[in-house]
Structures are given as C-alpha cells and as structure tokens.
Copies of this chain bind each other. A is one copy, B any other.
Amino acid sequence: MKSFDTHTLLTAHGLRCTRPRVKVAELLFADGQDRHITAEWVADELGKMGEAVALATVYNTLNSFMEAGLLAQINGLEAGRYVFDTNTEPHHHFYNETTGCLTDMPPSALRFYKMPEAPAGTEIVDWQVVVRVR
C-alpha cells in the first residue's frame, strides 16, 4: 500500500531504479511539496534516516533527475552553489542575501511586457529572475 510509486516515476523518465535513486526520489517527491534543495541537504537527510548515500552519488542523482526533467536548477544565487527546485514549472524567486532564504515569487509579482529575443543563431534554453533582497 504505497501512495507514491517511485519505480514508475523513475522508469517513466528513463532512469534505472537503484536504491539511491529510489531514496532520493522518495525524499523529494513523495509528498508532492515544492522544495529548494542542495546536494548536501539531501545527503544529510538520507544519513539521518539511516539510508546513507555517498555524496558523489547524490550529485550524480540530482544531475540525472535534472536531465530527466524531474528537477530544475536555480541560477543566480551564491556563486559556487547549486540549488535544485522540485517545481519544474518556470517561475521566479526572491533570494535573501542575509539569511540565504529562497522563496517562490507569486506569479502575479512580475509580468513581462515583451519576451526577449535571443541573439541570431541561438535559442533561449532557460531564463529566470532572482530578486535579491535584504
């Protein structure tokens, strides 16, 4: 009686169903909540749960999940830090430089008058706004 089918989620996204991936998927997706996460947080959390996964594997897993479209990457925070978002819908963030707190921006907070056009010969792959606050 599992309410959340990790095996289906992984295989449907072309990912082999391994113990580390199952544990990470359960941690991130089982309750359907939006989360902003780092590799370190995932590794710590699994450790506390007695399901330790090597940090390198956590990185591999998060990158695989991102390539598979299960996670989005948030750019524009502290240089040198990768933060992933379980909400893969395009949306924007407030980043509190003092506390490190990252919050979703209500969709109504920002509207674009005109979408930017990519320079000749290129196409837009991603764009997101990070509003830094204090």
**A56-87: which residues lie under 8 A (CB-CB) from chain B?**
75-77, 79-82
Closest to A77 in B: B75
**A91-124: which residues lie under 8 A (CB-CB) from chain B?**
92, 94, 96-97, 103, 105, 108-119, 122-124
A133–B123 touching, CB < 8 Å: yes
B124–A133 touching, CB < 8 Å: yes
Q: Could you say which residues of chain B place their CB within 8 Å of the CB of A81?
A: 79
A96–B113 touching, CB < 8 Å: no
Q: Could you say which residues of chain B place their CB within 8 Å of the CB of A105?
A: 116
Q: Count of chain A residues with Cβ under 8 Å from any Cβ of B? A: 38
State how many angstroms separate the Cβ of A72 from the closest Cβ of chain B: 12
Q: Could you say which residues of chain B place their CB within 8 Å of the CB of A96?
A: 119, 122
A118–B131 touching, CB < 8 Å: yes
User: Most B CB atoms within 10 A — which of A115, A123, A130, A131?
Assistant: A131
Q: Could you say which residues of chain B place their CB within 8 Å of the CB of A109?
A: 114, 116-117
CA distance A2 to B103 in the complex (A): 50
Q: Is A30 an interface residue (CB 8 A)?
A: no
